[in-house]
Chain A
Amino acid sequence: MSILHTVNKSPFERTSLDSCLKFAAPGAAVLLIEDGVYAALCDTSAAALVKDALKTVKIYVLGPDLKARGFAEGRLIPGIGVVDYVGFVDLAAASAKVQAWL
């Protein structure tokens, strides 16, 4: 079982996502929540970093946080999965541990 990483900070304001992706092992899962969801959007200055990470880790975004901020799933970088709160629990249950990048 691998690690589920959660990132809740905007990639444009903090280094949380950079550090998370730097240390996430291949096969790990990364769940973007709260302001972290901005990293999942297309055509941003963080998109290249995220697309590169998708080659080795699975990336998910929490749907309710995305919807709250006014973005539809069509704005996401292809390959990123959308989960609801139940999906969040499923990911956590399927992982050895949850590591938060605050």
Chain B
Amino acid sequence: MSEIVKKFLYLNRKAPYGTIYAWESLEVVLIGAAFDQVVSLMFMDDGVYQLVKGQDPSGIGMKNFSPTYRTLGDYEVKNVYVDHDSLAARGLSADDLVRIAWEDVDTEEEVENIVTVIDRARGCELMAEADVVFSF
């Protein structure tokens, strides 16, 4: 077993449905969960729209992948960060976003919601701390 655990940061900046970026990012996150890494997701710019709750694309003939975000806690994702300024520029608040619960199956540690709204300085720190940044 490799003891090298890297910090992965997935940076999401695109709105869902209009382009394939959001869906592709989600697929890579789910595939990456097979490896033992510390995984964080960050949403900024139009990427914050990916987390808006109540999505229903049945009328545009597309798959609703929105419920998958709520299961990310089960796929080794420990933190989901959302840029405050991006929300504010779009008239959104944390109340508009899905909630994602997290639980450690070994320690039974639970976090009710791992979605955290952060400011620019914190985002800057998180990018500096990451070993690898995947951009979508």
**Chain B associates with chain A:** yes
**Residues of B contacting A12 in the complex (Cβ-Cβ under 8 angstroms):** 45-46, 89-90
Contact B15–A71 (Cβ < 8 Å): no
The stretch from B33-41, B53-61, B102-110, B119-127 touching chain A is: B53-61
Residues A10 and B18 in contact, CB atoms below 8 Å apart: yes
What number of A residues sit within 8 Å (CB to CB) of B?
Answer: 24
Q: How far is the CA of A35 from the CA of B52 in the complex (A)?
A: 14
Q: How far is the CB of B48 from chain A (nearest CB, A)?
A: 10
Asked whether A44 lies within 8 Å of B17 as measured between CB atoms, the reply is no
Give which listed residue, B17, B58, B89, contacts A69 with CB less than 8 A: B17
Judge whether A64 is part of the interface by a CB distance below 8 angstroms: yes
Query: From A12, which residue of chain B is reached at the shortest CB distance?
Result: B46
Chain A positions near chain B (C-beta within 8 angstroms): 8-10, 12-13, 34-35, 38, 41-45, 47, 63-65, 67-72, 75
